[in-house]
């Protein structure tokens, strides 16, 4: 079955440590996204990538980094510079069609990774 | 970004229809209206989307106002499994140099289904 796999599901980190969250998709989607969700809040966009070797900052990119070396993979690193990293992190992907019709592209989300800083 | 406004919470009795409203008065002509829902501790899942005409699928119906400034997600018979947070978002194309997508999720509407 095609889908998005996020790992690990739960992660604990000590302050000052960098951690990397994995996101892999086998949907052949060009675009991939990372969102952060805090308790009782909506989703906020961290980074997105429309194509391999290219990515753009979202609304809350400070303290995070990403790479897109392969179409299938879009890992997110939470660095020690992120002041409040405890959150639920969601990865998503979508097809990338013609630009004017891109609004019709549906997002597929992974199950999420919950990061807790001790 | 074009924003959406939804009620924080709604309740419905099981087996009854549910109408979830969304206001998007600043919608642009190229914005599609998408609905997603999220169960506790899970990733959001796609429900339905549309541009101008009303849409139906196996999960729900989407009714779009003629001026496109509001829309309503309709669950025809609520079940306990429909209890979730429902997000109404606008998804369009926003040119920014290399091209970009504007995706903004608000807090959504928390739907409770009463047995």
How does pLDDT run across A40-55, given as a tens digit for each residue?
A: 888 998 999 988 999 9
Q: What is the dihedral of CA A50, B109, B71, B81, to 10 degrees?
A: 90
What is the pLDDT, as a whole number, of residue B102? 54
If one compares A99 and B52, the residue with the highest pLDDT of the two is B52
- B96 is written with which tokens? 């920014």
* Largest Cα span, chain B: 51
Is the pLDDT at A117 greater than 60, yes or no? yes
What is the pLDDT, as a whole number, of residue A1? 66
Which residue of chain A is at minimal alpha-carbon distance from B86? A42
Distance from CA of A16 to the nearest CA of B (A): 26
φ and ψ of A86, to 5 deg: -65, 120
Distance from CA of B79 to the nearest CA of A (A): 22
- A67 is written with which tokens? 């790479």
Percent of chain A with pLDDT over 90: 66
Which chain A residues have a beta carbon less than 8 Å from that of B93? 99-100, 102-103
Residue A100: pLDDT band (50, 70, 90) is low
Q: Taking CB atoms and an 8 Å limit, are B43 and A48 in contact across chains?
A: no
Contact A40/B at CB under 8 A: yes
What is the pLDDT, as a whole number, of residue B60? 96
What is the pLDDT, as a whole number, of residue A40? 84
What is the pLDDT, as a whole number, of residue B98? 38
Q: Which residue positions in chain B have pLDDT lower than 70?
A: 1-2, 93-104
Which residue of chain A is at minimal alpha-carbon distance from B1? A59
What is the pLDDT, as a whole number, of residue A99? 60
Length of chain A: 118
Which chain B residues have a beta carbon less than 8 Å from that of A108? 46
Is the pLDDT at A38 greater than 80, yes or no? yes
CA A61-B49-B43 angle, 5° bins: 45
Contact B45/A at CB under 8 A: yes
Provide the 10 A C-beta neighbour count for residue A49: 21
Is the pLDDT at A98 greater than 80, yes or no? no
- pLDDT tens string B41-55: 899 999 999 999 999
Those of residues 58-77 in A touching chain B at CB distance below 8 A are none
What is the pLDDT, as a whole number, of residue B96? 43
Contact A45/B at CB under 8 A: yes
Alpha-carbon gap, residue A51 to B104, rounded angstroms: 20
DSSP state, A73? B
Distance from CA of A118 to the nearest CA of B (A): 20
* Mean predicted confidence (pLDDT) in A87-101: 81
What is the pLDDT, as a whole number, of residue B97? 37
């Amino acid at each position: 079955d095609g889908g998005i796999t996020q790992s690990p599901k739960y992660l604990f980190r000590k302050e000052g440590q960098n951690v990397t969250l994995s996101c892999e998709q086998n949907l052949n989607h060009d675009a991939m996204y990372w969102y952060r969700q805090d308790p009782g809040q909506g989703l906020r966009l961290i980074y997105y990538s429309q194509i391999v070797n290219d990515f753009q900052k979202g609304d809350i990119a400070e303290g995070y980094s990403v790479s897109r070396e392969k179409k299938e993979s879009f890992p997110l690193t939470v660095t020690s510079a992120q002041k409040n990293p405890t959150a639920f992190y969601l990865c998503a992907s979508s097809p990338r069609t013609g630009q004017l019709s891109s609004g019709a592209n549906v997002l597929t989300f992974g199950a999420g990774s919950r990061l807790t800083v001790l | 970004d074009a924003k959406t406004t939804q009620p924080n919470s709604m309740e419905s009795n099981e087996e009854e229809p549910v109408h979830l409203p969304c206001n998007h008065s600043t919608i642009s002509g190229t914005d599609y209206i998408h609905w997603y829902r999220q169960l506790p501790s899970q990733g959001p899942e796609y429900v339905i989307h549309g541009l101008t005409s009303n849409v139906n699928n196996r999960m729900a119906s989407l009714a779009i106002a003629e001026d496109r400034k509001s829309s309503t997600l309709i669950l025809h018979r609520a079940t306990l499994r429909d209890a979730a947070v429902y997000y109404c978002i606008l998804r369009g194309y926003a040119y920014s140099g290399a091209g970009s997508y504007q995706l903004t999720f608000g807090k959504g509407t928390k739907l409770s289904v009463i047995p």
